[in-house]
A and B are shown apart, each in its own frame.
Chain A
Amino acid sequence: MRIVILGSSVYSETACAMAVRLAQMEQVPVGALALSTLNRGTLLRKLRQWGAREVANYARAKLMPQRRDQAPKLHNIYLQPLLNPKGDLFRSLREVAGLYSFPVAICDDQNSPNAIAQLRKWSPDLIIFTGGNILRQTVLAVPRLGVLNVHLGLLPEIRGMNSPEWSLLKNVPVGITVHYIDAGIDTGPILQRYEFPDTVARESLSDLRNRLIAFGVEKVGDVVAALDHGSISPIPQSDLNEDRQFFVMHEWLRARAAERLARSRKPSLAGTLNE
């Protein structure tokens, strides 16, 4: 199967881990398209969004580790088994691509004509989205099968942002959904839903989120294999008329979700899924 990965930047740990996971299944991507990290537009947008201090922190976290004399650190430690297979940490898509021999292209906007031309050139059966822009129909129409996304919540119950936190507050099981992207927000056909095993410890909301991301990367591999064998087919979502979209959560509610997580915390039986 011809697979392309879309990433929010070449330093995206999720995009790197996804590429490694596919390569380990002998499904080496035919290409990866990442958003440019340091173009003027992105920089201005990030300055407006995050403020100067956060942008400086981001730059320090992402760019400084490139120095060989510093011990590299992972933001999401649960991706370590994929990103650190032989003791030498993958720090960018370029490094993963170097080992597994696939091209990496950079763009300013994943919906731009240049990006679409590049995607068409790779002629993918499947695009796996790990981050970037809200995709327009012109991009969604490129792959033969569709653009696949891992949503960090169970669809159709919890659509939109902060899904793990909303799941906790609404008492919906925490989990992930692998689905195709369509024009709506998390409304595309579902390929597979996975509840996150409640025997696995979750130390905090960010810890839970990181575990879910790693869980998602692992499960996407299973879905790709099933798609390759033709043993899975997408199921359109029900209740599309009901507005089940959730929005970015205010910190006060996040604190309540964290309290609920703390109350529901169980002794770690299985450790991480990747162990």
Chain B
Amino acid sequence: MPNQISKALTEGTGLLRGPQRVLPLIQKLVSDRLHTIFDQRNLYSYTTTRRPSEEVLNSLLLWILDAQRPDGGIAAYYSLLTGYSESYPEVTGYIVTTLYDFARATGDDRTMVAADRAGRWLRSLQMPSGAFPGGLHGVEAQPSVFNTGQILQGLVRAYLETESVESRTAAIAAGDWLLSIQQSDGSWSGPEAYQAAPHTYYSMVSWALAGLSESISDHRYGLAAEKNLDWVLSHFQPSGWVDGINLRGHPTYMHFIAYVLQGVLECAILRRRDDAVQAVAKSAWVLLRKFETNKFLAGAYEADFRHGHRFTCLTGNAQMSCVWLRLYDVTGDLRYLNAALKINEMLKQFIPARGSRGIAGGVSGSYPVWGRYQPLRYISWGCKFFADALLLEQRLTRSFEPSRLEALPCAS
């Protein structure tokens, strides 16, 4: 509780310490208020391109580069009240993959350099056990399963890109630590898990382990990933809902629902588990229908996707875009591609084209910005997931082959 009070005080007095932030804050509040009044919610929303994807992608990457701190880590967020946060190890880890993807797609050396710097900083944080700490840099030094898994993504990618022995060693140490504390049922719980409880969104950790297994050809990590995959799959409900997200004191944000689906899907693709792909397709289809019907995904849902909250979690929308695009990639069902193109159009409209550092090109936690998920903040993982979605969109639309459509399966 004292921690929360101090956090609230810091946020509350942020404007006193940075009065230059008052105007952008008012502008954003007014803009979102007007936008919510005149929001377009109709069948033809988001079917036309108003901003080119390349332009938005560049602005997202510029936001991420601006958020890189002198230590090499990426800030968690830019708050409209307090400015940039400290570096965030977890997000820095999985942003590394986006930086390399962007560099590959565009030949932009700046993101390659940023990824290398981020990788060096991450390796400096690794604990002797192989684990990585949770929370913001310097705030918490407890080992964290989820953060270690997310950072493992970046280490594996850094190794694949640079063949650096340091990255390989760090990745193996992280993987070994994750295996050492995995429960017999495949989950992770105990003090190293958030709120000391098992979570189905740790499927993101399985994805990282499956990636490690593939990259160094060591099946132990793949088997551990599948063990967790089976545990997560046992929480999928007939409605498509996934139990076990388990966030005490928080609603089930779209961000975490999408984490479960994305982690399971990517792990399933790497491990060639069609049953898991089908399970994700079922849940993703429920959300696709909601998006097509309502023109947005709620920021949080109650069990069985009932009672969607009124705000939108933009990061969760971007993650669902990634999930739909990957489902199109593996099933060929064009309805996933169609929904992803439209949700990307919607998200593009929320990215500020102008503004000061930390605002221009940023993805706010919620729309409207005062929504419950990361209120009054532009968050780095939002930029990461939306950049991933646009990079995927770019790859899949460029390789779109009409001849492939001859034998299209139907989604269902």
What is A's interface to B at a CB cutoff of 8 Å? Answer: 48-50, 161, 166, 169-171, 242-253, 256, 259-260, 263
Contacts and interface: CB of A to CB of B under 8 A. Distances in A.
Contact of A170 (B43, B334, B397, B412): B334
7 contacts: A48-B41, A49-B42, A170-B405, A250-B47, A250-B342, A252-B49, A260-B402
Contacts of A249: 47, 338
A245 B41 CA distance: 19
Nearest to A244: B410
Given A48-B40, A48-B41, A263-B402, 7 more contacts: A161-B43, A171-B406, A242-B412, A247-B339, A250-B342, A251-B47, A251-B49
Contact of B285 (A161, A171, A243): A243
Given A48-B42, A161-B43, A247 B338 contact: yes
Contacts of A166: 334
A252 to B, nearest CB: 6
B116 interface: no
B56 interface: no
B266 interface: no
Nearest to B41: A48
A37 B302 CA distance: 40
Nearest to B400: A256
Interface string B302-342: 00000000000000000000000000000000110111011
B341 A256 contact: no
A50 B285 CA distance: 28
A75 B408 CA distance: 34
A250 B48 CA distance: 6
A243 B412 contact: yes
Contact of B405 (A169, A243, A250): A169
A49 B44 contact: yes
Nearest to B293: A247
A242 B409 CA distance: 12
5 closest residue pairs by CB, A with B: A250-B341, A49-B42, A243-B412, A247-B292, A242-B412
A42 to B, nearest CB: 13
Interface residues of B, number: 31
B335 A247 contact: yes
Given A48-B38, A171-B405, A242-B410, A253 B337 contact: yes
A242 B410 CA distance: 9
A174 to B, nearest CB: 15
Interface of B: 38-44, 46-49, 285, 289, 292, 334-335, 337-339, 341-342, 345, 397, 400, 402, 405-406, 408, 410-412
B402 A49 contact: no
Given A161-B43, A171-B406, A243-B412, A252 B397 contact: yes
A248 B43 contact: yes
B392 to A, nearest CB: 14
Max chain A Cβ within 10 angstroms of own Cβ: one of B335, B405, B410: B335
A233 to B, nearest CB: 28
Contacts of A246: 335
A126 B292 CA distance: 31
B408 A171 contact: yes
B70 to A, nearest CB: 41
Max chain B Cβ within 10 angstroms of own Cβ: one of A166, A170, A247, A251: A247
A170 B339 contact: no
Contacts of B411: 243
Nearest to A48: B40
Given A170-B334, A246-B335, A251 B406 contact: no
Contacts of B405: 169-171, 260
A166 B408 CA distance: 11
Contact of B402 (A50, A247, A248, A259): A259
Contacts of B334: 166, 169-170, 253
B49 A248 contact: no
Contacts of B40: 48-49
Contacts of A169: 334, 405, 408
B238 to A, nearest CB: 13
Max chain B Cβ within 10 angstroms of own Cβ: one of A50, A170, A242, A263: A170
Contacts of A260: 402, 405
Contacts of A48: 38-42
A53 to B, nearest CB: 13
Contacts of A49: 40, 42-44
A244 B412 CA distance: 7
Contacts of B44: 49-50, 248
Contacts of B43: 49, 161, 248
Contacts of A243: 285, 289, 411-412
A250 B42 CA distance: 13
A252 B340 CA distance: 12
A245 B412 CA distance: 10
A39 to B, nearest CB: 17
Contacts of B41: 48
A50 B38 CA distance: 12
Nearest to A253: B338
Contacts of B397: 252
A260 B404 CA distance: 12
Contacts of B402: 256, 259-260, 263
A247 B343 CA distance: 13
Contacts of A252: 49, 341, 397
A244 B335 CA distance: 10
Contacts of B400: 256
A79 to B, nearest CB: 23
